[in-house]
Amino acid sequence: MNFFISNPTIGEPFIVMVTNGTTSFVPSDPANTDYQAYLAWVAEGNTAEEWNPDAD
Amino acid sequence: MPIDFPNSPANGATFSTGDKTWQFDGVSWVLVASNASIGNSAITEAKIASGAVTADKIGALAVTTGKIDSNAVTAGKIASNAVTEGKIDASAVTSAKIAAGAVVEAGIAANAVTTGKLGTDVQLGYRNVVINGAMQIAQRGTSVSGITTSGYRTVDRFQFQVGTMGTWTQTVETDAPFAAAGMNKSVKVLCTTADASPAAGDLVAFVQRIEGQNLQQFLKGADSAKQFTLTFWVKSNVTGTYIAELLDADNTRQVSAAYTVSASGTWEKKTITFPADTTGAFNNDNDTSLTVAWWLGAGTNFTSGTLQTTWVSTVTANRAVGQTNLAAATNNYWQITGVQLEAGSVATPFEFEDFSTTLRKCERYFEKTYEQGVNPAAATNVGFVGAGGPDGVANFYAFPTWRYRTEKRATPTVTIYDIAGNSARITTWQSGFSTNNVTPDNGNWTNGTTAHAVLENGAISGFYYQAVSSAEL
């Protein structure tokens, strides 16, 4: 599992999660377990890089 | 002493003196009754003519319980309709006085059973807090191999947890205890790479997490807290001791119980009643409050203590003591179905649901645009979400909305696919031609009820996508 940040031309930045080759969009909802995993990942010292869709 | 009978009596006239009564039969006076005391043992059954004792010869209150021999009253001596409700004392009929099988449907009058006659503790429906216990719903697919990490793989709501302990295949099977329990499906985990010597922190388990707001009937934390009764059918080729566990995530408490797989390759029904817990209420919210876990393998971090069979603050070493290592050899397998967790000490029959009810319950946690039976990421346009306009629009802009059939537990993670199955991509449409693998401008506009994919400034006439949303615990 890896996390990125996307900065779309419209809307707020959002978290991109890549798991086993599947790319998903994670909302910043504390009750969302993927967001909880993202926060834990950041707490471990990781920093999400800019999402490059072409790199998927 | 002479008796002075009346002169010229009418036929049938009676005359009494002392303790005797005579009746005139037209010729003479005939003695018909005497109130003289009758000695004990004077009247025996042999001296009473058949038919001599009729109801009009028995005084009111003459028959008392003390005058009836034990076993004297048999069903053959009770006239049809003789026993009415008014003749039965309150509390006279107890369950000990009713023979097994004595009460049959034909013996219960229409409308005789009303809600008011049922105990106040009886929960007639929605007893099972486990969702998809019959393994009927598998929106993600029915077979996944090469599993080395935790995740939701096949049957909805059940997570297979693997912590560096073997490699596994998880499948939905039609092998299930149908004749015995009405189950048509089960879920199976099969070890394909063994780990006979797991590290201390390794584990394999099958779990379901449950929202706190769905658990309030257990009264956990109250003096009146109820027990937890877990029922399931299990089959494995590895006999031995297995551990089932309840984990209270709100209060960091747990309780475990051992069960035995007795026969290899045979469906066995297991019922475990966990004790009530008067400490620590479940939060009444949409987060995980209880995890039901079936351990399949565990390192010494989880097995080095003493199995904890009453609720206490969690001690990791006491959670899975005695657990058999299913990962000890390849081709070891474990199957489960018919899972029910209910409040109280009684294991009631499995609470069957219609397919759509279970599907809607599952969709609170996971939903897809694809048809049931079609796995996410399949190459198909059936069920797509899209928007279109006339050809030749230079700056096409749209955000076709996917409105969920079921509102999600929390704002879900959304994965969109083009119709070729590429994630985070959409399919565009122009002049009769589709183009896959197009990156949308934004895919995160999601809340508990809808999701959007957005495209702007495309020289197209429309676009469409498939999607899944996940708000699993």
Ranges A42-51, B362-371, B382-391: which has the least confidence = B382-391
Q: Are B298 and B274 in contact (CB under 8 A)?
A: no
CA B360 to chain A, closest CA, distance in angstroms equals: 19
Which residues in B156-239 belong to E strands, given as ranges?
158-163, 167-173, 186-193, 203-211, 228-236
Contacts with B234 (C-beta within 8 Å, 6 or more apart), sequence order: B242, B259, B261, B267, B268, B270, B334, B335, B336
What is d(CA A22, CA B446) in angstroms, rounded to the nearest whole number? 18
Q: Are B249 and B308 in contact (CB under 8 A)?
A: no
Residues of B in contact with A22 (CB under 8 A): 377, 415, 423
DSSP bridge pairs for B16: B21
Residue B352 amino acid letter: F
Q: Does B415 touch chain A (CB under 8 A)?
A: yes
Q: What is the 3-state secondary structure (H, E, C) of B347-402?
A: CCCCCCCCHHHHHHHHHCCEEECCCCCCCCCCCCCCCCEEEECCCCCCCEEECCEE
pLDDT of residue B74: 82
Q: Are A35 and A41 in contact (CB under 8 A)?
A: no
Q: Are B170 and B188 in contact (CB under 8 A)?
A: yes
What is d(CA B276, CA B391) in angstroms, rounded to the nearest whole number? 66
3-state secondary structure of B235: strand
Q: Does B260 touch chain A (CB under 8 A)?
A: no
In a mutational test of the A interface, the residue from B366, B399, B423 whose CB has the highest number of chain A CBs within 10 Å is B423
* Mean pLDDT computed over B44-51: 76
* Mean pLDDT computed over B429-448: 80
pLDDT digits 0-9 by tens, B209-241: 999 999 999 999 999 999 999 999 999 999 999
* Mean pLDDT computed over B38-52: 72
CA B422 to chain A, closest CA, distance in angstroms equals: 8
Please give the ipTM for the structure prediction: 0.95
Residues of B in contact with A23 (CB under 8 A): 415, 423-424
CA A17 to chain B, closest CA, distance in angstroms equals: 9
Residues of B in contact with A54 (CB under 8 A): 439
Q: Does A56 touch chain B (CB under 8 A)?
A: yes
Point out the residue among B413, B415, B456 whose CB comes nearest to the CB of A27. Answer: B413
pLDDT digits 0-9 by tens, B130-158: 999 999 999 999 999 999 999 999 999 99
What is d(CA B128, CA B256) in angstroms, rounded to the nearest whole number? 20
Residues of A in contact with B377 (CB under 8 A): 22
pLDDT of residue B33: 67
